[in-house]
Structure 1
Amino acid sequence: MEETGTAIILAGGLSTRMGFSKEALLINGERLLYSLHDTLRRRFEQIIVVSNTLEDSEKRMLEVVRDELVGLGPLGGIHAGLKTAKSRYSYVLACDMPYLNMDYVSFLQGRLPPPDQEISALVTALGCHMEPFNGFYNRSLVDPIRVFAATGQKSLTAFLRSQSAVLVDEDTARRFSPDWSMFANINTPADMLALTGSLATKGGRTHDRD
């Protein structure tokens, strides 16, 4: 498999603000999880869904893995996905991000180093913060995540800083998504109403990723 042949979708569990698991989100009558999976399938050979709650019938249709490091949130999900990944770098996003931008995915793939070089991760800067999803992660992070978690920490952004993740600058990223919608996620029923009420309304918030 090529260097970037794997994509990981973090499906998570129950969302207290939504009142149900985000992996069940429907957009125009279609499961967002399935829509993302189908879109990514056109680019990636392996699509891994990280979920502790999907039904057995769905597991037969998808490649599903469960968290091994329980209680770490997104960091634990990335760990589980990377352990199963067949390629060196995996594209990572969450199942509640409706505005997948494949042009930006292609751009990120082009920014990854050649096989004789290596980075830990490639994500995007937003001011002094970072967007940990819609980025690429190196399979070599499996053991560092375990070590980091053993210290009692579970912040994904803190982990990325500890691993010297490479950042795409905000101005460059905004050329692909001026309104930053490619990083938006659905956190609340209001976000969902904004999205389903008008696809021109870019619902969701970012930074809710630790």
Structure 2
Amino acid sequence: MGRDKATLVFEGRTLVQRVVDAVGARCDPVFVVAAPGQSLPELPAEILRDEVRGVGPLLATARGLRAAADAGRDWAFVCAVDMPHLHARVIDELMAVALSTAAEVVLPWDGRDHYLTGVYRTALAERADQLVAAGERSMRALADACDTQRIVMEPRHELTNVNTPGDLA
């Protein structure tokens, strides 16, 4: 996109503020994994810094899962910052399935997997680290390496992510 998505302003707030508000309605604590030196607005969340840029979302997810596990949580909602319409009801729907199954990951599926809008067992932090050490960068590698439950959903506004400035229009 050519610029930091987290600080893009949409309807008066940055994308990261919007996502933290949506996630914070259901999750406590909330962690934001930021790139080294990335400037963020004041947030009601704990900021975790990646040590290295450009290694993909899997390393950041491992870090967030570990932080959630250290906070005593068995599950973590993992999402991207580029979801301006995210709503807590998505978390509720995924958690309802997570709590009724033995799956390690629960993802929405609306014709494609939404790896960065899912609930993950925090115990997966070590497996994610092992995948990163083996050269993997994608969330697909983690979902493929564990028991993943996909929830079929109609395409929904809440699952929309921003890939271009035009997507915010």
**Normalized against structure 2, the TM-score is what?**
0.85
Match of 2:81 among 90, 95, 116: 95
Match of 1:190 among 160, 166, 169: 166
Gaps of 5+ in 1: 1-16, 195-210
Counterpart residue identity of residue 163, structure 2:
N
The answer to which structure, 1 or 2, has the higher relative contact order (CA under 8 A, 6+ apart) is: 2
| Displacement after TM superposition at 1:118 (Å) | 4.1
| Displacement after TM superposition at 1:62 (Å) | 3.3
Counterpart residue identity of residue 23, structure 2:
L
Report the structure, 1 or 2, having the larger strand content.
1
| Displacement after TM superposition at 1:110 (Å) | 1.1
Deviations 1:119-161 (Å, cap 9, x if unpaired)? 321112244x411122101111111111112222222113211
- Residue 181 of structure 1 corresponds to 157
- Residue 205 of structure 1 corresponds to none
5 Å matches for 1:1-210? 17=1, 19-52=2-35, 53-55=37-39, 58=42, 62-67=45-50, 71-85=54-68, 86=71, 87-113=73-99, 118-127=102-111, 129-169=112-152, 173-174=153-154, 179-192=155-168, 194=169
| Displacement after TM superposition at 1:32 (Å) | 2.1
| Displacement after TM superposition at 1:57 (Å) | 7.2
In the TM superposition, structure 1's runs of 4+ consecutive aligned residues that sit over 4 Å from their partners are: none
Gaps of 5+ in 2: none
Alignment CA distance shift 1:56-1:110 (3 Å): closer
- Distance in 2 of aligned mates of 1:182 and 1:78: 20
**Normalized against structure 1, the TM-score is what?**
0.70
Counterpart residue identity of residue 119, structure 1:
A
Maintained 8 Å contact 1:69/1:76: no
Who wins on radius of gyration, i.e. which is larger?
1
- Residue 14 of structure 1 corresponds to none
Alignment CA distance shift 1:110-1:71 (3 Å): same
Aligned-residue Cα RMSD (Å) equals 2.3
- Distance in 1 of aligned mates of 2:102 and 2:142: 17
